[in-house]
Structure 1
């Protein structure tokens, strides 16, 4: 589970996991997939080699983070603001004890986490200087990718009271939680719910990858299905709540060439929408591109010499 919990000003607790170099000056925040949790390190070797202190935070309802408050709509922007509050608190606390870090950080998002990463950059531009998103779907109205029946359901849920929408969607997602719970070992957890397909077998065959993903999903559903239900509602049933044009950070967009969830068309849409961005594709890789791309991602958000 997460290394620790952090109490937000609201009183809500969030789970925090750290990896990489704890003594590094450069701070990098990793926003997990949906379903997902903070315990997933895409490539521990690459994380150890790059001089960066990497932090991941469970979004509400996942892992060690408390659920969304009753009666409130899950939102991408609130998840982003939680991250920004944590980052600012760390900088302040470390300054008091004489630790000096750069005042800006790098933020990474995989799949649904990419939207949160971009929201952090858009809403807190003085806090974030570099962003990387990997396999992040574009809005459905821009690049259709959600089954029309599911989008119609999301529209229906969006017209309900938040508690009712969460309850209904959570019940529908219960088979995912049951499938994860049925696996006795992390390596036996089914990964289809992450968009992992046959094309990802090479990435999945890497040392410990399946186990790490399995542990991530075990943590994702530790409290039930509220975490993933909240994520889905935040980006399919409600407005995103921020403008991509407000992202001033230098942004790297990566897509697996064979990603059936969020491939080239999605990355190209983000390339046009983000003011300072670069797009790269990874041949022969699907939605699990975050694993082989992790070293490249870290070289962008935590370069040896940070330049603009």
Structure 2
């Protein structure tokens, strides 16, 4: 689970995990996939070699973070604002004790987390100078990827009250939580929940990676299915709530050539839609491209910061 918690001004508690170099000046925020949680480090060796303090926050309902309040719709922008509040609190608190941290950060989002990363950059441009999104699906209306019957279901949920929509979708997702709970070891947790398939098997052979993903999924469902239900509602049943044109940060868009979830068409859409974006396609890689490309990703969001 998360290694600490932070209480927002609203009183809601969020869980946080940190990795990399805790003493580094450069702060990087990692936004996890759906389902997911803050405890996943894509490549601990690469994280340790980069002079960056990497922090991840559990989105509401995942891990150690309290769910969205009753009667409110989950939102991508709300999750981004939680991160902004935490980052600003860190800068203020550290300045009081004489620590001077740069006022801007890098942010990374894998899969669904990419939307949160972009929302953070769009809504808080003075806070974010570099973004990397990895295997992030585009809006369904721009690049169709959601099965029509599932989008129709999301459209029906969007017409309901938020608590009713959350309860109905949570019930539908219960088999995912049951499958994770049935695994005897983290390495046995089914990874198809993350869009990881046969093309990713070579990457999964990396030491410890399968177990780290399994532990992340176990933590993701610790409160049941509310976290993933709210995530899905935030981007399929509700407007995203921000404009990509407002992302002023230098953005790296990474996708695997063999990613069945969010491949070239998605990455190309983001490159066209963002003001300052570079696209890199990884030959032979699937949705787990975040692991083999983690060092490249960190070199973008924390440039010129290699530990000596």
Q: TM-score range by the shorter chain?
A: over 0.9
User: Does structure 1 residue 88 correspond to structure 2 residue 88?
Assistant: yes
Residues of 1 paired with 2:235 and 2:7: CA distance?
A: 25
Residue aligning to 1:97 = 97
Residues of 1 paired with 2:95 and 2:28: CA distance?
A: 17
Q: What is the CA deviation profile of residues 17-36 of structure 1, one whole-angstrom value per residue up to 9, with x for unaligned ones?
A: 00000000000000000000
Pair 1:305–1:24, CA change in 2 (3 A): closer
SS class of match (2:37): coil
Q: Which runs of 5+ in 2 are unaligned?
A: none
SS class of match (2:291): helix
Residues of 1 paired with 2:267 and 2:81: CA distance?
A: 24
Residues of 1 paired with 2:301 and 2:99: CA distance?
A: 21
Residue aligning to 1:177 = 177
Residue aligning to 2:197 = 197
SS class of match (2:15): strand
Give 1:184 shift: 1.7
What do you get for the CA RMSD once the two structures are aligned?
0.8
Query: Is the CA contact (8 Å cut-off) linking 2:111 and 2:135 kept in structure 1?
Result: yes
Give 1:51 shift: 0.5
Query: Is the CA contact (8 Å cut-off) linking 2:52 and 2:305 kept in structure 1?
Result: no
User: Does structure 1 residue 14 correspond to structure 2 residue 5?
Assistant: no
Query: Is the CA contact (8 Å cut-off) linking 2:245 and 2:274 kept in structure 1?
Result: yes
Residue aligning to 1:288 = 288
Give 1:202 shift: 1.0
Residues of 1 paired with 2:305 and 2:53: CA distance?
A: 15
Residue aligning to 1:186 = 186
Residue aligning to 2:220 = 220
Residue aligning to 1:242 = 242
Residues of 2 paired with 1:217 and 1:177: CA distance?
A: 9
Residues of 2 paired with 1:91 and 1:74: CA distance?
A: 27
Alignment of 1:135-154 (within 5 A): 135-154=135-154
TM-score normalised by length of structure 2? 0.99
Query: Is the CA contact (8 Å cut-off) linking 2:94 and 2:100 kept in structure 1?
Result: yes
Residues of 1 paired with 2:203 and 2:95: CA distance?
A: 40
Residue aligning to 2:71 = 71
Residues of 2 paired with 1:12 and 1:245: CA distance?
A: 30
Residues of 2 paired with 1:185 and 1:193: CA distance?
A: 16
Give 1:305 shift: 6.3
Alignment of 1:30-41 (within 5 A): 30-41=30-41
Q: What is the CA deviation profile of residues 100-142 of structure 1, one whole-angstrom value per residue up to 9, with x for unaligned ones?
A: 1110000000000000000000000000000000000000000
Residues of 2 paired with 1:285 and 1:201: CA distance?
A: 10
Q: What is the CA deviation profile of residues 138-176 of structure 1, one whole-angstrom value per residue up to 9, with x for unaligned ones?
A: 000000000000000000000000000000000000000
Residue aligning to 1:52 = 52
Residues of 2 paired with 1:17 and 1:184: CA distance?
A: 25
Q: Which runs of 5+ in 1 are unaligned?
A: none
Give 1:185 shift: 1.1
Residue aligning to 1:302 = 302
